[in-house]
Amino acid sequence: MSSPTEQQLRDLFASEASAAPQAVGLTDGTLRKVRHRRRVRTAWAVGMVGVVVLTVGGLTSDALDQQRQNPPMAVPSDPTAEVAPPGGEGATDPRDGDAVGGGAAQECAEDYSPAAVAGRSFAFDGTVTAIGPAGSNRSGVASPLAGVTFRVNEWFHGGAGQTVTVDMDAPPSGSGRSDASVPAYGIGTRLLVSGEPRWGGPPLDAAIAWGCGFTRDYTAQTAAEWADATR
Amino acid sequence: MTFDEFVAEQGQPLLRLAFVLTGDRHLAEDLAQTALADAYRHWRKVAAARAPDAYVRRMLVNAHLSWRRRRSTTERPTELDETAGDWAADPGEAIAAREQMRLLLASLAPRARTVLVLRYYADLTDAAISEAMGVSESSVRATASRALASLRDTATLADVKENR
């Protein structure tokens, strides 16, 4: 026997269901999501391999001795702590080339281009206003990320609103420069940022900025290219 | 059964369930695709399951609750949005009652609302709901009972009932 409240619920839900969208293209959309996840996983795997390689390289290089004698540059004992930048004289500037940091250190899952930015789940022009703890890590997943809040100057796609927080490789400490594949940044830095939801879902759910040129220093020309590509 | 055959058969019911859970057309499509993408990844296991549709429904419910957990409750809609159900065809009192009920449902915790949707839309038994949500049957019953009591006890709902 059904109470009036229960009957109201049945009627309401049935009525809502009747307004549901048609499942046209559901298979195609699903397979696009599957391919997208594979790309994200590949990018992450490649990125983490790059970080490990750089860390191991730093440990085994002559710079290790210098780092041991120089506490501020010591290798962190906490695996979740920020990874020390690749040291030593003659180290390749990770920002060589226009794709910031994407050149020497890492192999990218997808080549940067303005058109490829349109394939990212979100893209915006923003200015860093705060840097805090990462928001996308799941328990058991340790990665050197920071949660970076931006004042959004322009959304290219995937979002709305005046501010947004995304996870990025942690900013470099001291005068060093990030060994990861996003530009060096701090409060006030203006960046063009694009990326993906780390674990899938809506564009800004556990959003993470891609490296390999997909997040880069702001220039008016590049911003215009992104705007054209995502229009 | 192939994945394509499964989607052809179960895609629309899953999408409807996603829509009733989320109340948003785009989120519903995203949610259904997310559950199906999970199913695609483990298709051999899904296809071998006793009830593949229940298996994927559980994936969908888990994804929904996971998304809700990660979002601020302030994002929860308290007004009809443009993609919500079409109430325009209903006469006045029914519209008011449904709108009232919808607002009350929006004030419930995501888990409580999900229990009600699975029970009163999907017509699942408490056992099936417990399986879909990964909780005990007693938890389902308690959650449903509290949610219904909350809906009934709301003064505005009482007004609506008096006017029927």
- pLDDT tens, residue by residue, A105-147: 344 667 788 988 988 889 999 999 999 888 877 665 556 788 9
Flag whether the pTM goes above 0.80.
no
Per-residue pLDDT tens for A186-219? 899 999 999 988 877 788 888 999 888 889 999 9
Contact A185, A148 (CB under 8 A): yes
Rounded CA-CA distance A2/A5 in Å is 8
Query: Quick check: B54 contacting A, CB < 8 Å?
Result: no
User: What chain A residue is nearest to B116 in terms of C-alpha separation?
Assistant: A9
What sign for the dihedral angle of Cα B126, B127, B129, B134? positive
Contact B101 A18 (CB under 8 A): no
Q: Which region, left, alpha or beta, applies to residue B112 given φ > 0 means left and ψ of -120 to 50 means alpha?
A: alpha
Contact B30, A29 (CB under 8 A): no
Which of A11, A12, A30 lies at the smallest CB-CB distance from B36?
A30
Contact B1, B8 (CB under 8 A): no
Has the ipTM of the complex gone over 0.85?
A: no
Per-residue pLDDT tens for A69-104? 433 322 233 333 333 333 333 333 333 332 233 333
Interface residues on A facing B, Cβ-Cβ cutoff 8 A: 3-6, 8-23, 26-27, 29-31, 33-34, 37, 200-202, 205-206
